Chains A and B, each alone.
Chain A
Amino acid sequence: MLKLILRRLAQMMLIMVAVSLILFGVFDSPKFKRQLAVNELGGFAVQTLSPADYQAWLERKGLNVPFAERYWKWLTGIARGDFGRSFQKSADVGPLLGRALLNTGKLALCVFVIMIPLALVTGVMAGIREGSFQDRSISFLAVLFTSIPEIATAIFLTVIFALWLGWFPAKSRGDGLEFLVLPALTLVLYDFGYVARLTRASVAEVMQSQYVRTAILKGLPYRRVVIRHVLRNALIAPFTVIVLQLNWILSGVVVVEVFFQYNGFGKLLLDAALFGDLYVVQAATLAAVLVAVLSQLISDIGYVLLNPRIRFG
């Protein structure tokens, strides 16, 4: 177990170094430096700039340093908790990213609080009566909602609840729970179908096993068979997948945040990438990769802990 964790952590470090090197390499290209200059000074100003002035500008921004030296400076900076400075917003990256992650965290919390019970209950309801009307209607709804991309769900919800009924604001610029409802609901609707389908498949598989048949035949009450014998075995797979959804939300959140103008992680990342704001992109991507790898690790450990059959495997 400890060996597994250590190996995964080492792998994680390797991947993060590779990712940061790739990002640095991409943004170190003359093309991106030029783009940054255009965004900061304006396209016309850059065109009229003499090469010497351009070099001076690069010098002032600290972009003229050789690749290896810049990377090393950035890496040692991180060790001290200094993530660099944002060119676009003239602020330190650390607090900027912290605030964005907090906002997205609030959103993700809402999503999980609604999505997990909804997906598990519908999935179990479909799985315990495989092939019934109940199962087929739930399965169909799950496919339907997973098929509607976030951007379309966001549109439908906005049109119905913001523009028609006027219950919630169409744009989520602000604090307060009412701004979170539509973005969170969009993510829930897209995501719950996947988890529900997985739960259904897992429950249906366990329902067909020998020990469930035995439990039913020996006369245990149906409710007790479902709760004690089926669910304990069937919910292992959904658990591991739910943890992995955290990773998905960090990526899927870009569209939703841009559509609803919510100031979170995804919007920060997109804005920074379009601007060529290297240090923000760097820190945000590494945060996302960290979440991805950690959630995978947690999901793996959870799987081992929950499933005694592979504990010594």
Chain B
Amino acid sequence: MSAIAEPLPSPPVPVLARLARPRFALALLLLIWVPLVAYVMFGRELGPYRSYVLIPAIPAALLLYAVAARTWRESTIAVAGLTLVFFWILLAVSAPYLPLLDPNKPVAPFVTPFTERNGIFFWLGTDMRGRDLLARTIWGCQRVLVWGITATAAAYLVGTMLGLIAGYRGGWRDEVVSFVGNVLLSFPVMVLFILILNYLGQSGFNIVIAVTFSSAPAIMRIVRGLALDVKSRDYIHAAQVRGERPLRIMLVELLPNVRGPLIVDACLRLGYTTVAITTLTFLGLGLQPPDPDWGLMIKEASTTALVFKFSYMLVVPALSVSSLILGFNLMADGLREMSLRD
């Protein structure tokens, strides 16, 4: 009989907990985002493969939801927000595979919700041109999410880099970046959007540019402040003494240590961007008809459907955009609360 006791078996770690790493979450996020971008922005180039592109994104979305919901399970608010957001993401990703009517094809005009017409049951009714509102809402959600996430990501890329440079390097770089940022921030947001979209033309890509111009200065300010705060910590000095290059210090030492507040801000900013895209389309400046979009649905209905009986045409897109933004905001709120607790 051996004197050494058997080592206690370590408690089994649940699969979901093992997957809850930033790198894995980022990979899943890319697995959702890249197919969506390919599907919406480069659909024509994909040709016959277009209908298969989104298939891997469906399990990725489900898995990411499960992992995130488990990681954030302490905060009910965060999970509620997460659920709302993933409800829409899942719809956006699976839109081509759902049994929906063609969102651009007129069927029967002015059908109120929950009624049957021509042997088809209309859950959300049809609009003034007879297009199915359910299909338009789901396809519109895809476009809003794709352009919203892309625009926010672009703004973050630019804003973070500039903020790191301004905060960490300081000196004349800080002066220049901060002055340009102040000039851009002193424009009323809408004026900036109108000017840029008017100048460059109205398309999704130009919305990305416009959002970058208007959001990047604010992100730059946040990152700059965080970088100034962290810059004098010991681990940064250690890296400097080791002779690491400034770019590496900024991206590898500094950025991961300030990611907490940045993730909260990103959630809020996703909401702002979604509002901006919807609003711009409503003002006739954003994505172009006839493809479905929430802002466009509101714009078309606001001139033709000002009767209580047909107000569902306005209420459906309004509720959709509100619930998506509520999701982003609840997520940000829950995350902030959790970060304050530790």
Enumerate chain A interface residues (CB-CB to B < 8 A).
11, 15, 18-19, 22-23, 26, 29, 31-32, 35, 143-144, 146-152, 155-156, 158-159, 163-164, 170, 247, 250-251, 254-255, 258-259, 266, 269-270, 273-274, 276, 281, 284-285, 288-289, 292-293
Contact = CB atoms under 8 A, between A and B. Distances in A.
Interface string B178-205: 0000110011111100110011000000
Given A15-B182, A259-B302, A273-B194, 6 more contacts: A15-B183, A147-B325, A254-B190, A258-B282, A274-B194, A289-B188
A35 B284 CA distance: 16
A280 to B, nearest CB: 12
B297 to A, nearest CB: 11
Nearest to B189: A251
Contact of A273 (B198, B275, B298): B198
Chain B: number of interface residues, binned into ranges = 35 or more
Contact of B199 (A29, A151, A164, A258): A29
B298 A151 contact: yes
A170 B301 CA distance: 14
B257 interface: no
A255 B279 contact: yes
Contacts of A293: 186
A290 B333 CA distance: 33
A156 B318 contact: yes
B190 A251 contact: yes
B159 interface: no
B329 A146 contact: yes
A147 B329 contact: yes
A259 B328 CA distance: 25
Nearest to B280: A255
Contacts of A163: 306-308, 311
Interface in B307-342: 307-308, 311, 314-315, 318-319, 321-322, 325-326, 328-330, 333
Contact of A144 (B195, B306, B326, B328): B326
Q: DSSP class of B's interface residues: helix, strand, loop or mixed?
A: helix
B186 A19 contact: yes
A274 to B, nearest CB: 7
B278 interface: yes
9 contacts: A147-B329, A149-B275, A151-B279, A151-B298, A158-B306, A164-B311, A251-B191, A255-B279, A269-B190
A151 B314 CA distance: 10
Given A255-B283, A274-B194, A156 B326 contact: no
Interface string B79-102: 000000000000000000000000
Contacts of A289: 186-188
A5 B283 CA distance: 38
Given A32-B199, A143-B333, A163-B311, A152 B194 contact: no
A266 B282 CA distance: 14
Contact of A18 (B183, B190, B283): B183
Contact of B329 (A143, A158, A250, A254): A143
B321 A149 contact: yes
B315 A155 contact: yes
B35 interface: no
B217 interface: no
Interface in B261-313: 271, 275, 278-279, 282-285, 295, 298, 302, 306-308, 311
Given A143-B333, A147-B326, A159-B311, A152 B319 contact: yes
A11 B314 CA distance: 44
A37 to B, nearest CB: 15
B183 A19 contact: yes
Nearest to A16: B186
A281 B282 CA distance: 20
Contact of A19 (B187, B194, B198, B326): B187
Contacts of B198: 32, 35, 273-274, 276
Contacts of A144: 326
Contacts of A266: 190
B189 A148 contact: no
Given A270-B194, A274-B194, A155 B314 contact: yes
* Top 4 closest pairs, chain A to chain B, by CB: A152-B318, A251-B188, A147-B326, A163-B308
B318 A155 contact: yes
Contact of A147 (B183, B271, B314, B318): B271
A288 B191 contact: yes
A305 to B, nearest CB: 24
A293 B282 CA distance: 29
A273 to B, nearest CB: 4
Interface string B138-181: 00000000000000000000000000000000000000000000
Nearest to A272: B194
Contact of A15 (B186, B315, B319, B326): B186
A258 B284 CA distance: 11
B295 to A, nearest CB: 8
A285 B298 contact: no
Interface in B184-233: 186-191, 194-195, 198-199
Tell me which of A31, A143, A281 has the highest count of chain B C-beta atoms within 10 A of its own C-beta. A143
